[in-house]
Amino acid sequence: MGKILVTGGCGYIGSHTIVDLLTNGYDVISVDNNSRSNPVILKGAEVITGKKIKNYKVDLCNYDDTFAIFQENEDISGIIHFAAFKAVGESVATPLLYFENNLSSLVNLLKCVQEFHIPHFVFSSSCTVYGNPDIIPVTETTLPKPAESPYGYTKQMGEQIIVEFARSSATNCILLRYFNPAGAHPSGIIGEMPLGKPQNLVPAITQTGIGRLPKMMVFGTDYPTRDGSCVRDYIHVSDIADAHTLSLKYLEEGMNMGRCEVFNLGTGEGITVLEAIHAFEKVSGVKLNYELGPRRPGDVVAIYANNDKARSILGWKPKYSLEDIMATAWNWELRLKADETVFNSQAGELN
């Protein structure tokens, strides 16, 4: 097992994946310019694993700086690429920022993969590539529809860039399509740290629950679903992390059939927004202050995964339930409040 380079290692999924990799015996380095992440999270990952984690504070949009990392680390045997902007609403407001950041960084990284003959490459993709599916659950062969946002297009284009790169190189690639990552590490030492007002449902719930937000809005209750609110597949971030380690092992064992394979990472169960809120209330004992409001533009009505392929080929088995997601997310929010001197001082510099 060589050294794994994790881009976006100070981010939510990146930090949880680093914990999983280190726990499984990998040697890891992180590359993260901390433009959207909090470096304090890596300290938490070090506490959990008892291992030091080096982060290169480098912008992957700078080719020379990225190249220098590979020159300094000749033993990189795999890359997991998380680093990207991911706010749907922001991408609509500033599309060029998203295309430049998310795609230039990917191309620079792949040029280094080519130059240094890195054998394994795992890409952080998203169910957003499916758009608004006609049939659910979606499988990996469900034809993608037009994306709902520039962010979604950067994931669709990113996948295409990697597919074509894999065809022309000796590198074996995996595209992991996350559904809705949520929750926090069971230890409560790392978790999601949204910058500013959370866009995603679960942090919006927990920040409302603890009083950081006065109330939250349910975006639409007139959808053609069982209770009128949107349906998503909420998957625990530690299950997502586990799938990355399994993907590397799969590639290292040479089990892959093709140069570039795709896997859905979801539980296979669709949950409505209102059901998620009620699950939080049940787990936390907190009555959530929410209002039923209008639809949010760009929202997909309903999507959840068929995860048979990841189960059968990667041996992936999601361990955490919706209740576990809410319990770990709430535990993390409580910890943030208890330690706000530590976290806010760091997070404050970034806000």
When the beta carbons of 86 and 335 are compared against ligand WQD, the nearer one is 86
Contacts with 187 (C-beta within 8 Å, 6 or more apart), sequence order: 48
Place of tokens 């449902």: 201
Nearer to ligand WQD by Cβ, of 180 and 331: the residue is 180
Distance CA 8, CA 55 (A): 9
Centroid of chain to Cα 69: 23
Indicate the residue type of 220: G
Helical axes 201-210 vs 322-338, angle rounded to 10°:
50
Encoded tokens for 176: 């992991």
For ligand WQD, the closer of residues 76 and 216 by Cβ is 216
State the maximum Cα–Cα separation within the chain, in Å, rounded to a whole number.
55
Cβ proximity of 49 and 23 under 8 Å:
yes
Min dist CB 118 to ligand WQD, Å, is 24
Residue 76, beta-bridge partner list: 3
Q: Which residues contact 281 (CB under 8 A, 6 or more apart)?
A: 287, 288
CB of 129 to ligand WQD, least distance (A): 9
Least separation in angstroms between CB 128 and ligand WQD: 4
Residue 304 among the catalytic residues: no
Nearest Cα to Cα of residue 155 among 89, 93, 90, 82: 82
Binding region for ligand WQD (CB under 6 A): 86, 88, 126, 128, 180, 199-201, 204, 216-219, 230, 232, 273, 296, 299
Smallest Cα–Cα separation from 76: which of 3, 7, 9, 24?
Answer: 3
Q: Which is nearer to ligand WQD, 199 or 306 (CB)?
A: 199
For residues 113, 115, 117 and 119, what is the CA-based torsion angle, rounded to 10 degrees? 10
Closer residue to ligand WQD, CB minimum distance, 219 or 330: 219
Q: Least distance from C-beta 124 to ligand WQD, angstroms? A: 8
- List 26, 151, 223, 320, catalytic entry: 151
- In the complex, the smallest distance separating the C-beta of residue 341 from ligand WQD, rounded to whole angstroms, is 27
349 burial (CB, 10 Å; 0-12 / 13-18 / 19+) is: exposed
The nearer residue to ligand WQD, 219 or 250, going by C-beta atoms, is 219
Residue number with the smallest Cβ distance to ligand WQD: 230
Rounded to a whole number of angstroms, the minimum distance from the CB of residue 269 to ligand WQD is 15
- Active site amino acids: 151
